[in-house]
């Protein structure tokens, strides 16, 4: 449905814009905004504890001119970060941790590995440089495995194929998923990336498809994240907030964070459980 | 009085009142247009000596009590745009007097009456706007498509939603708080194409009356307005046709007598035809491998009506409306079919029990539905929603004497709702998804109102409506007092006041400011209580020089159990829709000032509205959900502080009519981000360099709105009838009014973000997008 609205709106706007230049720059005074702390922390079993603590800015604050300055401006140093699990407190010192495998940067890090425990909580506590507190709690979810990946070539145009990814949902629990797939490289922008839940699933079988877009030799990376409700809400709200810019049909939304405390922070503290399949298109 | 058919308690009540109120005779009948037999609604009937008067009701019926006597009295029949008729009547017995009014040789030659606003000044009705299709047809329109809902927005107190759309936000009410009825049947989604066109084909419509406040007791069901649209009945004098060819649509209406003076029919159709062109383009390019076909889109409306005079006392009307929007995209691999629309049907039986007692019994059927069907190889997806009503009501109009006119009636409606019915899966059945909910409900209403005259200066219309709704094993009842009063200082000046409580039991599920076909109606349930409002209005009406009517009204309105939706609400395909609701309240107040001139070569009006509206104290029904600014009052998007509209129509000659409109308004409000943060994302995800952090709801006001339009109607008079070419220019000054704002990052090299996923912008710019530049159009219209 969203696609229909976007397509229709695009057609309509394009037709109307063809009548003349219907865009112009304007100036408006936005209300004052005090920056907030922003937390991103994903607990992946078997991976080190790492957390990114940044700050937000007023919308029209100037941008630094180079990447290093941009990053330095963004990162919040000198906070005290602790993650507690089963009575063990893991302190994450303020230390830049560039994950070379993923290209992601974190500024609080502890090399201890996240235990694979689905039955007890992980708790986060951050004391910010100005003495305020950010807290959050989460629990890991087990991986929901991809059952099978099926490549189908189109009957009319047998040079193009689609990929169907099947999994089995536990119909006795409320489950949330994030589905993404990449073409040829995980470092590229995903071709599909959305969250969903099992509200409408009748018999536990779920399939995710693609268009008939792929040629022989293409590599498809299918990833299914099993996510919790907090992450589902947060990610949807981030995407909705981004999409609200420039789409007159969409409703702006607050960022739905699961971090609490008197620091009034934005962010997400969640486990990361996923199954990833790599398929090379072949007949 | 017909004792065989009138209920006994009614007879006893009415007879006893008659005895109490002295010796009178009654003249009654209908007032019709001489040229085509159409009934005239709101025509004035005035006994000139005493100044006693009345007006025709929605069916053209009137009943006027006169003192019994042997001196002939003069009774004047008038209607705007028609020549007044004066009849001399001997009031020695009850008389049936059916009157036909003519327009004269040509419209511009009609003699202007001394006071064409007399009935309006005398009436307890206030906060009412009326418009006829005759006006609509000469007022400039976007792309030449005249639209009665868009024209009524030019009246004070009725700001539109987005520019060019049919949305109505009456006196601070929501876009879902308007009861739109076509021949008494509810039209649930009166829009085509995101509201850029309404479902009302001007050729098939007689007139539109919009109540902003002071609601008569016979109306209920929505908080902020009642929009009563009446279809033409069909020419009962001769076979006739009207039609037109425009840039967007073509129209054809045929009407004529089935039996002259007694019965007639009308059939009216309208259809867009862009799809006929795009199909040819698609056909011409079908062999090109990389060609992506243009989707099909069209809409159409079909209005039909027949009416029969069944003897002296009975009249039967049968009318129907059927409209559809269709959007199709079909290719070898992917079929997408989306259609939506309304169906309404009305059967009305008018019965005149006596010269004083008139009854109308109506059955209506209304349905709105949408369906989306998608097919890709091996899989299909279907989703749809609908709302369906069967309504039965009966209304009585009893002109007891020249001091009391009673209206009373009952109605009951059975509602069926299908919300988000979803069926999807693989053709082999291995994969299956389903969802959706069905609900039924019933609403009830009963009312009694008396319009009482106290002397020659003061009239009070007081009434009570009792309403009820049941669904989900829950019954809600509403007590809705209605009061309207007028004090006539003299025939040119009156003061008015009104109070009305309204209940609304159905709620529209939408977060967009634009009418979407997927907006669904949802009933009150055990958790979602009915909305209700209270409105007080006071006003003054003054006729200047017999030509100009000045109206000044002040209102205050309180809205309770208002419906909004939580942040990130999932309104499309959701089995637990109630968890998305947030309930709050609102209020609004304002003043409206207008000066209008209804007759003469120059006609039109100037309207000004000063208004404020706020909503707030919203709490999600599901406590785990979030509603931004919960607890606080905030301005809705449609809070328009100042609104000015000028409409002028000038008959330059028999052939040429000029018209112009100018609209100025404070900008709508918008919800803008105040902050931004950078979202790194998980590996594989798409990092976001700036995620907006939205501040207070709708804290920003868009730049002011201004638009001026003009049109020329040039008429031809061929032997077979009449035709015209209407040239119109929309947005004459080519002003760029804001449709929405967005923020665009600026880069040193504009391709940088494509080349570098973490490109740093040099800054952000705020851009305004407008919808309509200057647009000219030409329409050919004809009638025979």
The residues with which B39 forms a beta bridge, in sequence order, are B32
CA dist B237 and B260 (Å) reads: 6
CATH class of the domain whose range is B8-111? mainly beta
B762 pLDDT band, cuts 50/70/90, is confident
Long-range contacts of B67-75 (CB under 8 A, 24+ apart): B67/B23, B67/B24, B67/B25, B67/B91, B68/B23, B68/B24, B68/B25, B68/B92, B73/B47, B73/B48, B73/B49, B74/B47, B74/B48, B74/B49, B75/B27, B75/B45, B75/B46, B75/B47, B75/B48
CA dist B535 and B572 (Å) reads: 33
CA distance A7 to chain B (A): 10
pLDDT digits (tens, 9 = 90+) for B378-392: 889 999 999 999 999
The predicted pLDDT at position B495 comes to 97
B643 pLDDT band, cuts 50/70/90, is very high
The predicted pLDDT at position B755 comes to 66
A72 pLDDT band, cuts 50/70/90, is confident
CA dist B628 and B565 (Å) reads: 10
pLDDT reading at B421 higher than 50 = yes
pLDDT reading at A14 higher than 80 = no
Q: Residue B456: which residues within 8 A CB-CB, separation 6 or more?
A: B51, B488
3-state SS assignment for residue B547: coil
Residue A120 falls inside a structural domain: yes
Across the interface, whether the CB atoms of A221 and B379 are under 8 A apart is answered: no
The candidate with the shortest Cα–Cα distance to A182, out of B753, B685, B752, is B685
| Domain co-membership, A81 together with A130 | yes
The predicted pLDDT at position B22 comes to 55
Q: Which of A226, A253, A258, A276 to mutate to test the interface with B (most CBs of B within 10 A)?
A: A253
Mean pLDDT taken over chain A: 89
Pairing of strands B506-509, B520-523: antiparallel
Across the interface, whether the CB atoms of A1 and B773 are under 8 A apart is answered: no
What is the token pair recorded at B148?
A: 């009665």
pLDDT reading at B164 higher than 80 = no
Across the interface, whether the CB atoms of B696 and A31 are under 8 A apart is answered: yes
Residue after which a domain boundary falls, among A115, A140, A165: A140
The candidate with the shortest Cα–Cα distance to B733, out of B754, B708, B713, is B708
Question: Between the ranges A62-71, A222-231, B271-280, B540-549, where is the mean pLDDT highest?
Answer: A222-231
pLDDT reading at B113 higher than 60 = no
Q: What is the CA radius of gyration of chain A?
A: 22
Q: Residue B357: which residues within 8 A CB-CB, separation 6 or more?
A: B1, B6, B10, B14, B396, B397, B398, B399
* Cβ neighbours of B456 (radius 10 Å): 11
pLDDT reading at A148 higher than 50 = yes
B279 pLDDT band, cuts 50/70/90, is confident
CA dist B626 and B613 (Å) reads: 23
Higher-confidence position of B118 and A189: A189
Mean pLDDT taken over chain B: 89
Q: Does any CB of chain A come closer than 8 Å to the CB of residue B311?
A: no
Q: Name the CA dihedral angle for B765, B769, B774, B780, rounded to a multiple of 10 degrees.
A: 170
Residue after which a domain boundary falls, among A140, A174, A196: A140
B376 pLDDT band, cuts 50/70/90, is confident
pLDDT reading at A200 higher than 90 = no
Residue A113 falls inside a structural domain: yes
Q: Give the chain B residue whose CA is nearest to the CA of A246.
A: B742
**Residue B759: alpha-carbon gap to chain centroid:** 50
| Domain co-membership, A118 together with A193 | no
pLDDT digits (tens, 9 = 90+) for B486-520: 999 998 999 999 999 999 999 998 876 667 888 88
What is the token pair recorded at B294?
A: 């243009």
The predicted pLDDT at position B7 comes to 52
b/e sequence B160-196, b meaning 16+ C-beta within 10 Å: bbbbbbbbbbbbbbbbbbbbbbbbbbbbbbbbbbbbb
The predicted pLDDT at position B512 comes to 65
Higher-confidence position of A158 and A138: A138
Higher-confidence position of B364 and A197: B364
Mean pLDDT value of segment B181-201: 91
The predicted pLDDT at position B158 comes to 87
Q: What is the ipTM of this complex?
A: 0.92
| Domain co-membership, A47 together with A120 | yes
Q: Does any CB of chain B come closer than 8 Å to the CB of residue A32?
A: yes
Q: Name the CA dihedral angle for A102, A183, A250, B769, rounded to a multiple of 10 degrees.
A: 100
- C-alpha torsion sign, points B281, B285, B286, B289: negative
| Domain co-membership, A111 together with A135 | yes
| Domain co-membership, A71 together with A99 | yes
The predicted pLDDT at position B175 comes to 87
| Domain co-membership, A59 together with A135 | yes
CA dist B413 and B364 (Å) reads: 9
The predicted pLDDT at position B640 comes to 92
Mean pLDDT value of segment B658-674: 92
CA dist B715 and B657 (Å) reads: 8
CA dist B672 and B669 (Å) reads: 9
The predicted pLDDT at position B401 comes to 83
Higher-confidence position of B268 and A253: B268
pLDDT digits (tens, 9 = 90+) for B227-254: 999 999 999 999 999 999 998 899 999 9
Would you say B294 and B337 are in contact if contact means Cβ atoms under 8 Å apart? no
DSSP string computed for chain A: -HHHHHHHHHHHHHHHHTTS--EEE---PPPP----EEEEEEE-TTSEEEEEEEE-EETTPPPPSSHHHHHHHHBPPS-EEEEEETTEEEEE-EEEEEETTTTEEEEEEEEEEPP--SSS-EEEEEE-TTS-EEEEEE-------EEEEEEEE-SSSTT-EEEEEEEE--TTS--EEEEEEEES-TTSPPSEEEEEESTTBSSSEEEE---S-B-TT-EEEEEEEEE-HHHHHHHHHHHHHHHHTT-TTSPP-------BSTT--EEEEEE-EEEEEEEE---
* Cβ neighbours of B406 (radius 10 Å): 20
Question: Between the ranges A19-28, A67-76, B551-560, B574-583, where is the mean pLDDT highest?
Answer: B551-560
Q: Give the chain B residue whose CA is nearest to the CA of A65.
A: B762
Across the interface, whether the CB atoms of B573 and A1 are under 8 A apart is answered: yes
Between positions 697 and 726 of B, the ones with CB within 8 A of A are 699-700, 703
Question: Between the ranges B28-37, B82-91, B318-327, where is the mean pLDDT highest?
Answer: B318-327
Backbone angles phi, psi at B468, to 5 degrees: -155, 160
* Cβ neighbours of A172 (radius 10 Å): 7
Mean pLDDT value of segment B532-556: 95
A71-85, A147-161, B210-224: the lowest-pLDDT one = A147-161
Higher-confidence position of A177 and B546: A177
B68 pLDDT band, cuts 50/70/90, is confident
pLDDT digits (tens, 9 = 90+) for B584-633: 999 999 999 999 998 889 999 999 999 999 999 999 999 989 898 888 89
Percent of chain B, pLDDT > 70? 94
Between positions 433 and 472 of B, the ones with CB within 8 A of A are 433-435
CA distance B121 to chain A (A): 43
* Cβ neighbours of A258 (radius 10 Å): 20
Give the HSE-up count for residue A269: Cα atoms under 13 Å, Cβ half-sphere: 27
- The CATH code of domain B231-742+773-783 reads 2.40.170.20
CA dist B337 and A230 (Å) reads: 35
Q: Give the residue range(s) of CATH 2.60.40.10 domains in chain B.
A: 8-111
pLDDT reading at B111 higher than 50 = no
3-state SS assignment for residue B533: strand
Would you say B480 and B220 are in contact if contact means Cβ atoms under 8 Å apart? yes
Q: Name the CA dihedral angle for B261, B262, B263, B266, rounded to a multiple of 10 degrees.
A: 30
A4 pLDDT band, cuts 50/70/90, is very low
CA dist A198 and A189 (Å) reads: 26
CA dist B111 and B102 (Å) reads: 12
Mean pLDDT value of segment B527-534: 96
Q: Give the chain B residue whose CA is nearest to the CA of A59.
A: B675
The candidate with the shortest Cα–Cα distance to B127, out of B540, B695, B693, is B540
Residue A59 falls inside a structural domain: yes
Between positions 162 and 191 of B, the ones with CB within 8 A of A are 162
| Domain co-membership, A186 together with A115 | no
B429 pLDDT band, cuts 50/70/90, is confident
Strands, E assignment, B353-403: 357-376, 379-399
Between positions 643 and 702 of B, the ones with CB within 8 A of A are 671-680, 682-686, 688, 690-696, 699-700
Residue A97 falls inside a structural domain: yes
Q: Does any CB of chain B come closer than 8 Å to the CB of residue A71?
A: no
pLDDT reading at B63 higher than 50 = yes
- C-alpha torsion sign, points A240, A242, A243, A244: positive
A147-151, B18-22, B42-46: the lowest-pLDDT one = B18-22
Residue A17 falls inside a structural domain: no
pLDDT digits (tens, 9 = 90+) for B708-756: 999 999 999 999 999 999 999 999 999 999 888 888 888 877 776 666 6
Q: Which of A10, A22, A154 to mutate to test the interface with B (most CBs of B within 10 A)?
A: A22
The candidate with the shortest Cα–Cα distance to B152, out of B243, B229, B78, B219, is B229
Residue after which a domain boundary falls, among A109, A140, A171: A140
B757 pLDDT band, cuts 50/70/90, is low
Domain containing residue A198: CATH number: 2.60.40
| Domain co-membership, A38 together with A97 | yes
| DSSP-assigned letter for residue B158 | -
pLDDT digits (tens, 9 = 90+) for B303-355: 999 999 998 899 999 999 999 999 988 877 788 999 999 999 999 999 999 98
pLDDT reading at B150 higher than 50 = yes
Would you say B440 and B414 are in contact if contact means Cβ atoms under 8 Å apart? yes
Mean pLDDT value of segment A246-253: 81
| Domain co-membership, A180 together with A111 | no
What is the token pair recorded at B282?
A: 């698609």
Burial of B64 (0-12, 13-18, 19+ CB in 10 A): buried
CA dist B406 and B400 (Å) reads: 7
Residue A5 falls inside a structural domain: no
Q: What is the number of residues in chain B?
A: 784
Report the number of distinct structural domains present in chain A.
2
Residue A186 falls inside a structural domain: yes
The predicted pLDDT at position A16 comes to 52
| Domain co-membership, A37 together with A96 | yes
Q: What is the largest CA-CA distance in chain B?
A: 99
* Cβ neighbours of B734 (radius 10 Å): 15
Across the interface, whether the CB atoms of A240 and B568 are under 8 A apart is answered: yes
Question: Between the ranges A256-265, B292-301, B666-675, where is the mean pLDDT highest?
Answer: A256-265
Q: What is the largest CA-CA distance in chain A?
A: 66
Which residue range forms the structural domain that includes residue A72?
31-140
Give the HSE-up count for residue A116: Cα atoms under 13 Å, Cβ half-sphere: 7
């Amino acid at each position: 449905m969203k696609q229909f609205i976007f397509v229709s709106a695009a057609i309509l706007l394009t037709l109307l814009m063809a009548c003349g230049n219907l865009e112009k720059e304007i100036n408006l005074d936005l209300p004052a905004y005090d920056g907030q702390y922003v937390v991103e922390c994903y607990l992946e079993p078997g991976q080190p504890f790492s957390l990114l603590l940044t700050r937000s800015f007023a919308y029209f604050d100037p941008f630094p001119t180079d990447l290093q300055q941009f990053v330095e401006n963004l990162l919040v140093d000198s906070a005290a970060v602790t993650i507690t699990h089963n009575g063990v407190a893991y302190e994450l010192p303020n230390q830049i941790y560039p994950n070379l495998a993923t290209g992601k940067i974190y500024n609080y890090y502890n090399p201890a590995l996240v235990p694979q425990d689905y039955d007890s909580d992980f708790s986060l506590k951050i004391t910010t440089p100005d003495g305020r507190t950010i807290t959050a709690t989460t629990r890991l979810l087990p991986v929901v495995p991809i059952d099978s990946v099926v490549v189908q070539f189109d009957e009319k145009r047998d040079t193009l194929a689609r990929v169907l990814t099947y999994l089995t949902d536990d119909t006795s629990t409320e489950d949330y998923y994030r589905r993404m797939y990449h073409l040829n490289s995980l470092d590229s922008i995903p071709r599909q990336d959305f969250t969903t839940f099992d509200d409408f699933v009748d018999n536990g079988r779920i399939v995710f498809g693609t268009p008939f877009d792929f040629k022989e030799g293409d590599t498809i990376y299918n990833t299914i994240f099993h996510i919790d409700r907090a992450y589902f809400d947060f990610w949807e709200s981030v995407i909705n907030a981004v999409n609200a810019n420039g789409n007159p049909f969409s409703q702006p939304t607050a960022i739905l964070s699961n971090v609490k405390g008197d620091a009034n922070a934005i962010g997400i503290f969640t486990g990361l459980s996923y199954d990833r399949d790599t398929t090379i298109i072949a007949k | 009085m017909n004792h065989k058919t009138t209920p006994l308690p009614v007879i006893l009540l009415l007879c006893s009142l008659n005895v109490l109120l002295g010796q009178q005779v009654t003249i009654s009948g209908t007032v019709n247009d001489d040229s085509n037999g159409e009934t005239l609604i709101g025509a004035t009937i005035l006994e000139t000596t005493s100044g006693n008067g009345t007006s025709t009701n929605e069916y053209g019926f009137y009943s006027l009590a006169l003192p019994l006597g042997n001196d002939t009295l003069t009774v004047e029949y008038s209607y705007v745009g028609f020549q007044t008729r004066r009849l001399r009547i001997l009031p020695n017995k009850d008389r049936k007097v059916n009157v036909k009014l003519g327009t004269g040789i040509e419209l511009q030659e009609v003699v202007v009456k001394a006071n064409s606003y007399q009935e309006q000044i005398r009436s307890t009705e206030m906060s009412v706007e009326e418009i006829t299709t005759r006006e609509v047809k000469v007022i400039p329109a976007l792309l030449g498509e005249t639209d009665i809902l868009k024209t009524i927005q030019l009246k004070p107190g009725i700001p539109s939603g987005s520019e060019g759309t049919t949305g109505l936000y009456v006196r601070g009410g929501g876009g879902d708080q308007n009861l739109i009825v076509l021949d008494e049947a509810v039209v649930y989604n009166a829009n085509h194409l995101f509201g850029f066109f309404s479902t009302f084909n001007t050729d098939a419509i007689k007139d539109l009356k919009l109540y902003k406040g002071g609601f008569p007791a016979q109306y209920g069901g929505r908080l902020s307005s009642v929009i009563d649209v009446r279809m033409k009945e069909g020419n009962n004098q001769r076979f006739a046709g009207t039609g037109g060819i425009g840039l967007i649509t073509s129209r054809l209406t045929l009407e004529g007598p089935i039996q002259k003076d007694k019965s007639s029919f009308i059939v009216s159709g309208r259809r867009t035809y862009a799809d006929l062109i795009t199909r040819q383009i698609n056909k011409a390019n079908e062999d090109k491998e990389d060609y992506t076909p243009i989707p099909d889109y069209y809409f159409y409306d079909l209005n039909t009506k027949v009416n029969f005079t069944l003897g002296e006392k009975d009249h039967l009307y049968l009318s129907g409306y059927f409209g559809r929007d269709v959007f199709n995209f079909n290719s070898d691999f992917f079929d997408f079919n989306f259609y939506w629309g309304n169906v309404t049907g009305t059967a009305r039986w008018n019965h005149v029990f006596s010269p004083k007692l008139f009854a109308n019994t109506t059955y209506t059927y209304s349905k709105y539905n949408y369906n989306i069907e998608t097919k890709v190889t091996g899989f299909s997806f279907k989703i749809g929603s609908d709302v369906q009503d069967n309504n039965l009501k009966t209304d009585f109009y009893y002109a007891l004497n020249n001091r009391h006119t009673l209206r009373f009636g009952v109605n009951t409606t059975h509602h069926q709702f299908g919300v988000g019915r979803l069926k999807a899966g693989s053709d082999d059945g291995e994969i299956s998804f389903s969802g959706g909910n069905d609900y039924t409900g019933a609403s009830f209403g009963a009312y009694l109102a008396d319009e009482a005259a106290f002397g020659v200066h003061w009239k009070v219309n007081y009434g009570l409506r009792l309403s009820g709704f049941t669904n989900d094993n829950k019954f809600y009842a509403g007590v809705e007092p209605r009061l309207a009063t007028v004090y006539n200082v003299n025939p040119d000046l009156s003061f008015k006041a009104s109070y009305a409580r309204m209940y609304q039991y159905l709620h529209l599920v939408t977060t967009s400011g634009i009418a979407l076909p997927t907006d669904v109606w949802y009933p009150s349930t055990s958790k979602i209580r009915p909305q209700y409002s209270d409105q007080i209005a006071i006003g003054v009406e003054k006729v200047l020089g017999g030509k100009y009517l000045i109206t000044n009204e002040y209102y205050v309105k309180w809205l309770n159990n208002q419906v909004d939706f939580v942040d990130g609400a999932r309104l499309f395909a959701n089995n637990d829709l109630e968890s998305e609701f947030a309930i709050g309240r609102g209020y609004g107040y304002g003043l409206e000032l207008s000066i209008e001139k209804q007759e003469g070569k120059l006609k039109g009006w100037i309207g000004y509205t000063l208004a404020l509206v706020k909503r707030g104290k919203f709490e999600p029904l599901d406590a785990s959900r979030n509603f931004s600014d919960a607890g606080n009052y905030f301005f809705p998007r449609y809070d328009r502080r100042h609104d000015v509209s000028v409409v002028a129509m000038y008959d330059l000659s028999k052939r040429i009519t000029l018209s112009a409109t100018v609209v100025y308004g404070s900008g709508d409000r918008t919800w803008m981000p105040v902050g931004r943060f950078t979202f790194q994302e998980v590996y594989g995800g798409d990092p976001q360099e700036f995620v907006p952090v939205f501040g207070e709801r709708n804290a920003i006001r868009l730049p002011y709105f201004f638009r001026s339009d003009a049109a020329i109607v040039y008429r031809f008079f061929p032997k077979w009838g009449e035709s015209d070419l209407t040239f119109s220019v929309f947005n004459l000054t080519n002003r760029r009014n804001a449709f929405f704002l967005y923020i665009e990052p600026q880069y040193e090299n504009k391709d940088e973000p494509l080349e570098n996923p973490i490109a740093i912008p040099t800054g952000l710019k705020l851009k305004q997008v407008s919808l309509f530049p200057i647009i000219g159009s030409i329409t050919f219209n004809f009638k025979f």
